[in-house]
Each structure stands twice: as C-alpha cells, then as structure tokens.
Amino acid sequence: MRTRSRGQRVRDLLLSTDPRRRTLVSMALLALALMVSSACVMLMIAAADSAVDAAAVQWWAAISVGGLAVMTAFIRSGETARLKDPSLTVPQMVWTITSGAVAYVLAGDARGVVPSVLAMILFFGTFGLNVAEVIGIGVYALLAFACAVAATTRFNAGPFGYLDAAYALMVLIVLGGCIALNLRIQRIRRRLREQREALAQALAINRELATRDDLTGLPNRRAMHDMIELERRRSLRSGRPLQLAELDIDHFKHINDTHGHATGDRALQAFAGVVRACVRDTDVLARWGGEEFVLLLSETSAEDARELLERVRLAVAALEMQHPSGPLRVTVSIGLAQHRPGDTVELTLERADQALYTAKSLGRNRIVTAPPGPRAGQGPGAARSARA
C-alpha cells in the first residue's frame, strides 16, 4: 500500500479523512480565513487612524475570529453530523453579520470597507441555505446594519452627515442586491433539482422499458435471463431445486390470421393475467417472444412444479375471451425441466424447449417433463418449427 506523504497526513489531520466532513471543514476554514482577513483590515485601520478605538477593534477581532474558530473546530470534531445543519451555515452567517455590523460602528470614517465584506459573506453563505433561510438572514442583516447605522452617530459623537447617508445607502444596496442574487440562485438550484429528478424518473422509466414487455407488462427475455442466472447461483449455493418451464399458446398463429393481431394481443394479455393469477409471488413469468413464455420456479420440486403447471393449464383452458364472432378459447402446451448442477442456463432452457416440442407433438394442451439426460439429435430449432 502506498505511504501517504507528509502533506497528505497534515491535510487528513486538519480536514478529516471522511469525504463529507472534509467538505464541511474546508468551507468553514474558508469562512474563517475571510474573517481573519477582515480582522487584519480592521487592525490596519485602527493602527492608521487615531480616531478609531484600537482596543475595541482588538477585542472585536479576537471575538469575531475566535467565534468562527470554535465553530470550525466543532465541525471538524464531527459532532455537528447529527444536526439538521451540519455545516453550521446559519450560525456562522449570523455571527459574521453581527461582527460586520459591529465593525461598521468601530471603523469610523473607514466604515465604507464593510459593505464589500458583507457582500462576500452573504454570497458564500448562499449555497448552504434554503429560500426561507436566505430571506431570514437577509432580514436579520438589514436590522443589524440599521442598528449599526443608528449607533454610528452616537458612538462617533458626530452629526449624521452626507457620508453617513452614503454609507448607509451603500449597505442597503449591497444587502438588497445580495438577497435578490441569493433568491435567484435558489430558484436556479430548485430548477436544477427538479431537472435532476425528472432525469432520474426518465432513466427509471427507460430501465423499466428495457426490462419489461410493453404489451403484457411481464419481464422481457433479457431481464429474465438475468433473473434465471441469479436463481441458478442461489440454487447452486443452497442445493434447492430450480425448475424452468416454457409455455406456448396452442394455435396462436390461427388466432392472428383469423381474428387479427389486435385480438391476438388481447389473447396474450389475458393469457399472461391468468398465468400470473395461478403462480406464487416468488415465481417469475416472462414473455420470451411471440406467444412463448418462460416460468421460473425457484426452490420447487419437480412434483410441486408439475402440480402448479397443471393448475395453469386448466385455468388457461377455462379462459374465455369475448369476440364479435363468438367466445374464443385457447390452450397451452408446457415443457418443464429441472436445472441440474453443472449445466448452463441455456442447456436447461433447451431441455425445456425439447419437452415443449414433445407436448406439441403429442397433441398439445399438456405438460411434458424433460428427462434427466439430454436428448440427442433434437434441438430447439426443430421444436420451434413444430409450433403453430
């Protein structure tokens, strides 16, 4: 196994090895870095402007950075994973907005730098909020900075002049623009989410169409192959018997030729409904092609399978379909084969096919069980040629 580099070990120690937590910690560290940068700017202002209370700014910087550092450590510990907001986005934004409002009061004549910091805070926090939270944060920011603007004149012991009005107006513009942009981003996110859901639904429908016969609603040949292979492996592990039966509607071509393909389609649907009503929930019926069906009987002995198929045969023979020319009846021929350990699925299906051919040649409307061994010289091509 490849040894991790020192840089990788440091990153794992700082960000965690859990992918989800790494993302949350990375975003929290970005917010912390922005706060540290803002604190540095405020400290520079305090150092350059004697009118600014340097001690108050230092306390502000320590508290502002310390609060976000505590939240970042809490996220890194993993304790927030069970919370509804594991990234603590709302608490972080409330903290930074409050810090920004206080900085606006402390910065004196340099308070014009605060709106840009505020805009950056609101923008980066957008992606973790829903619409209601965006509106709530926006309203809180407006109230916080309204209080800050009101406190500025008293704190600085000076009249409210045009510069104060300009700064207040700039804060209002920044907040309004950020809220509008955030809401626009939320709408885009919602639309993208709806598009993803629609795409997932379309893919699910396509997968269903790829594995289902659209006429009867049964699994199609490809899906049935996969299910039979899965049951074969399960039977091999458990040692329990697995039976495969091929069912073919007798004289189906005559129905199509005499009454039309629409009547033939209704006959296929009625046949599928009758068979599904006779078999167990664990049994799988699939349309194999044309008027031919395959029935998968897992964990079923040959005697039980034959008894079940006899019920199917009698139910099909009793089926009566209404038609303008008079009631139509159909019968079914069935070939049954038990899967043998070591055989392929194709070989078992071929044995069932040969048994079906025998049922057809003996007069139809009957069940024939495949013998234990293969029948030489008799292939599925010959069986299909005898079906009409």
Non-local (6+) Cβ contacts of 57 within 8 A are 42, 43, 45, 46, 106
pLDDT at 205: 73
Helix, strand, coil percentages for the chain (3-state, nearest 5): 70, 10, 20
Residue 250 predicted with pLDDT over 50: yes
Is the backbone of residue 89 left (phi > 0), alpha (psi -120 to 50) or beta? alpha
Residue 185 predicted with pLDDT over 70: yes
**First-to-final CA distance of the chain:** 64
The pair of structure tokens assigned to 367 is 């069940």
Q: Read off the pLDDT of residues 192-245 as tens digits, 9 standing for 90 and up.
A: 888 888 888 888 777 766 788 889 989 999 899 999 999 999 998 888 999 999
CA-CA distance, 143 to 166, in Å (whole number)? 18
Residue 376 predicted with pLDDT over 60: no
Residue 378 predicted with pLDDT over 50: no
The pair of structure tokens assigned to 251 is 């004289």
Cβ(174)–Cβ(118) under 8 Å?
A: yes
The pair of structure tokens assigned to 200 is 């997932």
The confidence band for 147, taking pLDDT boundaries of 50, 70 and 90, is: confident
Is 208 known to be catalytic?
A: no
Question: Choosing from 133, 291, 292, 350, which is the catalytic residue?
Answer: 291
Domains of the chain, each with CATH number or no CATH? 6-206 (no CATH), 221-385 (3.30.70.270)
The confidence band for 379, taking pLDDT boundaries of 50, 70 and 90, is: very low
Q: Which residue has the higher pLDDT, 159 or 38?
A: 38
Residue 371 predicted with pLDDT over 80: yes
Check residue 10 and report its DSSP letter.
H
pLDDT at 144: 82
Q: Which residue has the higher pLDDT, 348 or 135?
A: 348
Q: Which residue has the higher pLDDT, 331 or 48?
A: 331
pLDDT at 3: 59
Task: Phi first, then psi: give them for residue 215, nearest 5 degrees.
Answer: -80, -50
The confidence band for 375, taking pLDDT boundaries of 50, 70 and 90, is: very low
In three-state secondary structure terms, 114 is helix
- Average pLDDT over the chain, rounded to whole? 83
The confidence band for 383, taking pLDDT boundaries of 50, 70 and 90, is: very low
Residue carrying the six token digits 């910690």? 25
pLDDT at 155: 61
Q: Rg of the chain over CA atoms, in angstroms?
A: 38
pLDDT at 52: 80
> Any idea which of 43-47, 181-185, 266-270, 300-304 has the lowest mean pLDDT?
181-185
Residue 230, CA distances (Å) to 21, 287, 322 in order: 38, 18, 39
In 159-208, where do the E strands start and end? none
Q: Read off the pLDDT of residues 110-134 as tens digits, 9 standing for 90 and up.
A: 777 776 666 666 666 666 677 777 7
CB count in 10 Å sphere of residue 129 = 20
- Which of 144, 194, 151 lies closest to 172, judged by CA? 144
Q: Which residue has the higher pLDDT, 19 or 131?
A: 19
Q: What is the chain's length?
A: 388
pTM for this one?
0.52
pLDDT-above-70 percentage for the chain: 86
Non-local (6+) Cβ contacts of 339 within 8 A are 232, 235, 241, 242, 243, 244, 345, 348
pLDDT at 384: 46
Non-local (6+) Cβ contacts of 51 within 8 A are 108, 109
- Which of 270, 235, 231, 233 lies closest to 249, judged by CA? 270
CA-CA distance, 237 to 86, in Å (whole number)? 44
Cβ(117)–Cβ(151) under 8 Å?
A: no
pLDDT at 162: 64
- Which of 151, 133, 124 lies closest to 27, judged by CA? 124
The confidence band for 315, taking pLDDT boundaries of 50, 70 and 90, is: very high
In sequence order, what are the beta bridge partners of 159? none
Give whichever of 11-20, 158-167, 290-299 has the largest mean pLDDT: 290-299
The pair of structure tokens assigned to 294 is 């395959």
Cβ(21)–Cβ(50) under 8 Å?
A: no
> Any idea which of 65-79, 81-95, 170-184 has the lowest mean pLDDT?
170-184
